[in-house]
Amino acid sequence: MALGEFDLIRRFFAGTALQHPFNQLGIGDDCALLNLPDSYQIAVTADTMVENVHFFADVDPNALGHKVLAVNLSDLAAMGAEPFAVTLALTLPKVDEAWLQGFADGFLALARQYRVDLVGGDTTAGPLTLTVQAMGAVPRGQALLRSGARPGDLIFVSGPLGNAGLGLKIRQGLPGADGGSALQSFDRPLPRIEIGLALRGVASACIDISDGLAADLGHILQQSGVGAVIDWDKLPLSAPVREYIATSSDWTLPLSAGDDYELCFTVPMAAATMVPAGCHCVGAVEAESGLRIRRAGRIEQLQARGYQHFA
Ligand code: ADP
Ligand code: MG
């Protein structure tokens, strides 16, 4: 007989001891109970992944478990929040124990890595859909908002751009590409938690790059009421992405491709020395609105729109 809802929860998701001191009661009651010291605020986010919209039906369930948690932790990283608890709403077409084991292993391994507890959720039958809600702690008033960029601030990214976009192209059948690291970036992005924490009191604005640098930096610019210029030559690119651009001439990939989950942040000039090692300065904030790109000796206006559902 197939596992029922309660056995499924117990077998795959419950039973591990709570790791984070803020969490008092986890899976098993009507609600979880979380306690935060008065000096903290809770940063809360949720992201849903739907089969055939966000992932392919044949995706490795372990990678999927990793990714649905990683994209949520990435939002916490972008706020400078320390993750401590998540909930998981699972809608499954059927109970496939091997699939569930892989999914739970991928999910819980990443949770352990960041000392995040799975404190509750919901389990229903229906088209495969995964929703994670993540909660992070940030000292009162220190969250990194999108709205704080000012003219003269420098613009940084936390790591290479376009890797996951190239990984997606390879998954979709791009011939001839050697994409081990690109596929890894697409399947198992790492949330930049440590960098987000190190940016408290340093960055004036921050966002995670889920829809591409142009679109996501665009949100910072719009919400801060400023513009920017990006130097194409300063964009950090992996060897496979450089090679892809050289052969395809598709130089917009690192600006337009999503799913890298690096952080993009702005820093006042005076704080530039406090930016964590490994981050790259790629441009500067300007008073004039709009996003411009400096490339091959020219400056051009960039029209950036990330992926939009319903659009
Ligand atoms: P209720 O019907 O009261 O909402 P449920 O029967 O849905 O409770 O869930 C029982 C317990 O298991 C609750 O603590 C709930 O948070 C937890 N839970 C349910 N589904 C999941 C899941 N997919 N992952 C983690 N916890 C879950
Ligand atoms: Mg329920």
User: Looking at the structure, do residues 225 and 108 belong to the same domain, yes or no?
Assistant: no
Domain boundary among 98, 115, 139: 139
Residues 167 and 273 occupy one common structural domain: yes
Domain closes at, from 114, 139, 164: 139
205-208 and 263-267: which strand pairing?
antiparallel
What's the one-letter identity of residue 57? A
224 and 262 inside one domain? yes
Residues 126 and 159 in one domain: no
Taking only the tens place, the pLDDT of each residue in 67-116 is 999 999 999 999 999 999 999 999 999 999 999 999 999 999 999 999 99
| Closest to 189 in 3D by CA, of 64, 45, 47, 57 | 64
Q: What is the pLDDT of residue 16?
A: 83
- Assess contact for 178 and 240: CB atoms under 8 A: yes
Q: Are residues 56 and 129 in the same domain?
A: yes
pLDDT of residue 102: 98
123 assigned ligand-binding residue:
no
Model pLDDT, residue 309? 62
Whether residue 45 is contained in a domain is answered as yes
Domain count, the chain: 2
CATH number of the domain that 108 lies in?
3.30.1330.10
Domain boundary (104, 139, 174) is at 139
* Ligand 1 atom closest to residue 122's alpha carbon, by position in its atom list: 20
Which pLDDT does position 246 carry in this prediction?
95
Residue 307 lies in a domain: no
Q: Is the CB of 88 under 6 A from ligand 1?
A: yes
Q: What is residue 308's predicted lDDT score, i.e. its pLDDT? A: 61
Same domain, 123 and 194: no
Residue 292: which domain range?
154-301
Residue 311: inside a domain: no
Nearest CA to ligand 1 atom 17: 120
CATH number at 256 reads 3.90.650.10
Q: Are residues 188 and 118 in the same domain?
A: no
Task: Supply the pTM of this predicted model.
Answer: 0.94
Rounded to the nearest 10°, the torsion over CA 149, 153, 154, 155 is: 10
Domain annotation covers residue 146: no
Judge if 167 and 115 occupy the same domain.
Answer: no
pLDDT at position 302, please? Answer: 84
User: What pLDDT is recorded for position 177?
Assistant: 66
Please list, in sequence order, all residues whose beta carbon lies within 8 angstroms of the beta carbon of residue 31, skipping any fewer than 6 positions away: 25, 120
Q: Is 65 in the pocket of ligand 1 (CB under 6 A)?
A: no
Residue 247 lies in a domain: yes
60 in a known ligand binding site: no
Residues 23 and 98 in one domain: yes
Are 25 and 135 found together in one domain?
yes
Low-confidence ranges of the chain (pLDDT < 50): none
Same domain, 216 and 111: no
Binding site membership of 83 for ligand 1 (Cβ less than 6 Å): no
Q: Give yes or no: residues 125 and 159 share one domain.
A: no
